[in-house]
Amino acid sequence: YYDPELLKMESAVKAFPNGWAPLLEMAKIVTDGDHLKRNYVEKGVLFLTSENFQEHFIDFESELRIPPAYERTLSRARSEPGAVFLTKTGKWYGKAAVCRTNDPVFNISADVAKILLRPEYDPFFLACYLNSSIGYSLVRRESTGASRDRIVLDNLRSLPVPIVRNTELKYRVIVDRISEAHIRAAYLYAQAEALLLEELGLEKLDLAPSLFYERPYHDVVAARR
């Protein structure tokens, strides 16, 4: 916690010319998602976990859905345009992404934090700060846990953040370019995977999981099972 580099980063943030503030003072909401065991359904509200959040990118490819009636009890954690979502657990915990206006409605699990800033602050700057080497290090510095590191909301709320007003829209351009790169990379990866499967003659192979298979009885006897 008192590593000289981390102390230097903290001092640099608190010496920022425009000032700094704890995240809690800049935000209307700092919360997280559902802590309870839930029942998933085939059709319902999209439910995302920490695996769906990357640096400046939200992956909406998830089969998890929760009942609308249950989702309404979790309205505090529902997606909102301009909200910043940050992973609390997982190998790369501490990564942040901004929810956009055209993004689908979703809710989150307890391993993801939701930060909704006050109007005078820029969520795109906050996402850039959280994903920067300084912000990322200071977030992870506050992690707890014996066997699995995690971010505690109270520690996240006290995170020092440089004050940059939302008039600086250049951060939106930066985030847009990074998001586009994520989408482009996913598209090219899918193309490469399809080409590889075609070259190997495996493009029609069914890899769907199966819970059973059939074998003749004499095979079972021969295997002494």
Q: What pLDDT is recorded for position 30?
A: 96
Instruction: Return the amino acid letter for 69.
Output: A
Give residues with Cβ within 8 angstroms of 93, minimum separation 6. Answer: 50, 87, 140, 143, 149, 150, 151
**pLDDT of res. 213:** 64
**pLDDT confidence of residue 166:** 64
pLDDT given for residue 206 in this prediction: 74
pLDDT given for residue 172 in this prediction = 84
What tokens appear for 110 in the block?
């307890």
Q: How far is CA 189 from CA 63, 85, 182, 186, in A?
A: 21, 25, 10, 5
Mean pLDDT by 10-residue block, N- to C-terminus, for the chain (225 residues)?
Answer: 93 94 96 92 95 93 94 95 94 91 95 95 94 94 82 94 78 86 88 89 74 71 75
